[in-house]
């Protein structure tokens, strides 16, 4: 074999036949395959429906004869700091090698398909020779997720098992295509998730909401770009969070914020949304005087609704009693959360709000 270890990076949402082909090619060239499962510790959404643990089971069940040669590890996103992501990959691989008792001179490479611009990350690790494998004809994970959620129909009560069903022949056909494009053990796991998991109903609701939302803008002469504003309010070691009342992200915690109106600045929109969602009664001059930093967060995939750019403002109050807050508008709960706790809430935070928090507060 040419390598002792090959590194295979992906989100695997879900692990499909194309992924399996790359994995088998890697196992034919290396003694062991280090599989880094991306987007770890993110909330369940229609883009990231399955946890790291669930995806690890998919990978291992799809390659039953090679389980002893698979080193599956979680990999966290760093949307706004590519260097940190690269460092995380390097650190995770080094730890996997140490855990496996690898020799100091073990030959390590990286494997993947340079299919388009999204594959640029394969060239981020010059210390590892690249094994560029041929493209395997299979549907994309994006299309497979679409078939998976389009097949679900609910009565509007997310998670109610009796309401989940396949709507019609076209959706049944979509499930057949899904089954044809994933390893059989992965299909069995997906089908069990669809039939038994309470999370499926909530994800189906979110899917239909996003489909309707995008359809409403389909007649626009060009793809719309939405502008929002978010408030990172820190007071006496606590940060102000709201729990979302409706889709998308129903039930997730978020920073107070919302869309910018046609007749207001982004700061005015931030202050308005903050007061509407939390009923925070600090005077506007006091809030403006407490701004410590601001930044634009514009990752293209930060929102399921489409291209959405947010302007976040960091308000800092070093000490004193926490001002009273209560829920309003789109929030069903509002509370002050200790900063240490908030920084550990990645799986419960909406969109990229964990990344925004860590930018201003560290983590």
Q: What are phi and psi of 241, to 5 degrees?
A: -125, 155
| CB-based contact 286:273 (threshold 8 Å) | no
Give the pLDDT score at 191.
96
| CB-based contact 27:4 (threshold 8 Å) | no
Low-confidence ranges of the chain (pLDDT < 50): 155-165
Structure tokens at 279: 């009923």
| CB-based contact 334:327 (threshold 8 Å) | yes
C-alpha–C-alpha distance, residues 354 and 86, integer Å: 19
**Strand locations in the chain, DSSP E?**
3-10, 30-37, 70-74, 108-112, 130-132, 226-235, 238-244, 253-254, 257-259, 291-297, 308-317, 331-338
- Residue given tokens 């408030």 in the structure block: 231
Write the pLDDT tens digit of every residue in 103-151: 999 999 999 987 777 778 888 999 999 999 976 778 899 999 999 999 9
The closest alpha carbon to 111, from 25, 175, 211, 235, belongs to 25
What torsion, rounded to 10 degrees, do the Cα atoms 297, 303, 309, 312 define? -50
Structure tokens at 230: 């978010």
Which domains are seen in the chain, by residue range? 3-132 (3.40.50.620), 141-216 (no CATH), 226-361 (3.90.79.10)
Q: Which residues contact 353 (CB under 8 A, 6 or more apart)?
A: 230, 253, 254, 255
DSSP-assigned letter for residue 13: T
C-alpha–C-alpha distance, residues 240 and 255, integer Å: 7
C-alpha–C-alpha distance, residues 188 and 192, integer Å: 6
Q: What are phi and psi of 41, to 5 degrees?
A: 60, 35
Structure tokens at 238: 């606590």
Give the pLDDT score at 18.
94
Bond into 248 cis (ω within 30): yes
DSSP string of 122-135? GGS-TTS-EEEPPP
């Amino acid at each position: 074999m040419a390598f002792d270890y090959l590194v295979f990076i992906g989100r695997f949402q879900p692990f499909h036949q194309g992924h399996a082909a790359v994995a088998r090619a890697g196992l034919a060239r290396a003694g062991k395959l280090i599989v880094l499962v991306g987007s770890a510790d993110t909330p369940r959404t229609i883009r990231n429906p399955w946890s790291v643990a669930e995806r690890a089971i998919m990978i291992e069940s799809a390659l039953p004869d090679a389980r002893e040669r698979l080193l599956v590890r979680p990999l966290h996103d760093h949307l706004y700091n590519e260097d940190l992501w690269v460092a995380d990959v390097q650190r995770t691989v080094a730890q996997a090698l140490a855990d496996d008792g690898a020799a100091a001179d073990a030959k390590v490479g990286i494997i993947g398909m340079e299919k388009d611009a999204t594959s640029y990350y394969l060239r981020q690790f010059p210390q590892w020779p690249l094994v560029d494998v041929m493209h395997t004809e299979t549907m994309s994970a994006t299309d497979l997720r679409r078939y998976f959620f389009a097949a679900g129909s609910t009565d509007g009560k997310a998670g109610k098992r009796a309401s989940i069903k396949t709507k019609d022949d076209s959706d049944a056909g979509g499930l057949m295509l899904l089954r044809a494009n994933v390893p059989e053990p992965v299909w069995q796991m997906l089908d069990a998730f669809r039939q038994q998991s309470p999370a499926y109903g909530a994800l189906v609701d979110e899917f239909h909401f996003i489909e309707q939302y995008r359809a409403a803008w389909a007649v626009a002469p060009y793809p719309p770009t939405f502008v929002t504003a978010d408030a990172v309010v820190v007071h006496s070691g606590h940060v102000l969070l709201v729990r979302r009342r409706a889709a998308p992200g129903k039930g997730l915690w978020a920073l107070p914020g919302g869309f910018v109106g046609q007749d207001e600045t982004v700061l005015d929109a931030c202050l308005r949304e903050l007061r509407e969602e939390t009923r925070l009664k600090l005077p506007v001059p006091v809030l403006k005087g407490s701004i410590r930093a601001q930044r634009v967060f514009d990752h293209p995939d930060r929102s399921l609704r489409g291209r959405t750019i947010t302007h976040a403002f960091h308000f800092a109050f070093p000490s004193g009693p926490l001002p009273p807050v209560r829920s309003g508008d789109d929030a069903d709960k509002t509370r002050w959360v200790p900063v240490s706790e908030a920084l550990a809430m990645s799986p419960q935070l909406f969109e990229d709000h964990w990344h925004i928090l860590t930018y201003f507060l560290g983590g």
